[in-house]
Amino acid sequence: MQSPTGVGFLLSQMGVFVSDGFAERVAALGLTPPQVGVLRLISQTPGLSQQALADRLGILPSRMVGLVDDLEARGLVERSRNPQDRRLYALHPTERGWETLASVSVIAVEFEREVCAPLSEREAGVLTDLLRRLADGHELPVGVHLGYRHLTEGDAG
Amino acid sequence: MQSPTGVGFLLSQMGVFVSDGFAERVAALGLTPPQVGVLRLISQTPGLSQQALADRLGILPSRMVGLVDDLEARGLVERSRNPQDRRLYALHPTERGWETLASVSVIAVEFEREVCAPLSEREAGVLTDLLRRLADGHELPVGVHLGYRHLTEGDAG
DNA sequence: TATTGTTATACTCTATAACTATA
DNA sequence: TATAGTTATAGAGTATAACAATA
């Protein structure tokens, strides 16, 4: 921990607070944050294979198996074989998957409101802008959470 | 994953980025972030017992044992028995412990500079202020990192 | 021979609970 | 009997490496 009053410490502290809060809220839907991330990406580009998915999220293929297993077991995602290359799956959200994503979206909007509650609307806007410029400046991938990636390829920091 | 453009997502994403970066940098001193937290608290209130320490950081006593073991093995912290109650230890930094803390401080200042590099000095000040008001508004303990605490007592979120 | 998905295994981190020594 | 510290065990989460099916 750096000086417990600096930007670094506050970012790290708030990051854990937000991550925990979000995890707690989507747990009400029976989901974990990594599952939500996978489900969302499948909805954005339906038909993707597991490894393509794993690649984009920085998750190991072996780990993706279990995540998709769970989503399939909950009836949120469908595995269909790609007839052109029967090694690949083509992943699609089910109707229930789309509904669940809508619920996640509602939760996210509400949670966003709670997180920003101590600030005025204008201040929240300023904060968003500053954070986005930080993320851009450090070349963080847009919309991909670092917490998903594996750390074996020297990509930490 | 909330909407990958909102404050919540950005805070979580930047939080991981900063935590990883800090961990990587103090690893050069042979330390982990929890060890740094323990060492710093011992320096702030020397003579504390292990359980008092554990209490303040939200760490389990059994976990504190290993953390102090490591710090002692590296010659950064001394365990001396409290003569009034021989069940308790009194923990103090060694001279090398104080030196290491100074090095951590240098690392932290430098890292703070790197994190804020994409912003002007004035903007970094605004960001600090907004983050501090968020942390205050959500009643996050000052200077205690949530990542240390155990989650068994329903205190997540 | 290379690639997708899978499984089996190991490793890290941390919580739980039982133990000792002091009080 | 209660408390500080310790140890031993177990559980969650994730990485590594070997494997089967398909190309």
Are B148 and B58 in contact, with CB atoms under 8 Å apart? yes
Report, in angstroms and rounded to the nearest whole number, the Rg of chain A calculated over CA atoms.
18
B89 three-class SS: strand
pTM of the model: 0.92
Among protein residues, the one whose C-alpha sits closest to the C1' atom of D17 is: A62
Are B42 and B90 in contact, with CB atoms under 8 Å apart? no
Q: Which helix (H) or strand (E) holds A81?
A: strand A77-81
Are B90 and B49 in contact, with CB atoms under 8 Å apart? yes
Amino acid identity at A48: L
- DSSP-derived secondary structure for A57-68: HT--HHHHHHHH
Name the closest residue on chain B to residue A10, using Cα atoms. Answer: B131
Neighbours of A156 (CB within 10 A): 16
Say yes or no to pLDDT of A148 above 90.
no
Are A37 and B1 in contact, with CB atoms under 8 Å apart? yes
Q: Rounded CA gap, A36 and B4, in Å?
A: 12
Q: Is the CB of B120 under 7 A from strand C?
A: no
Convert the pLDDT of each residue in B12-33 to its tens digit.
Answer: 999 999 999 999 999 999 999 9
- The alpha-carbon gap from B130 to the nearest alpha carbon of chain A, in Å, equals 7
- Domains of chain A (ranges plus CATH)? 28-112 (1.10.10.10)
Two structure tokens written together for A12: 């790290």
Convert the pLDDT of each residue in B73-121 to its tens digit.
Answer: 999 999 999 999 999 999 999 999 999 999 999 999 999 999 999 999 9
Confidence of residue B153 (pLDDT cuts 50, 70, 90): very low
Convert the pLDDT of each residue in B42-61 to its tens digit.
Answer: 999 999 999 999 999 999 99
In whole numbers, what is the pLDDT of chain A averaged over residues?
92
Quote the DSSP letter at residue A89: E
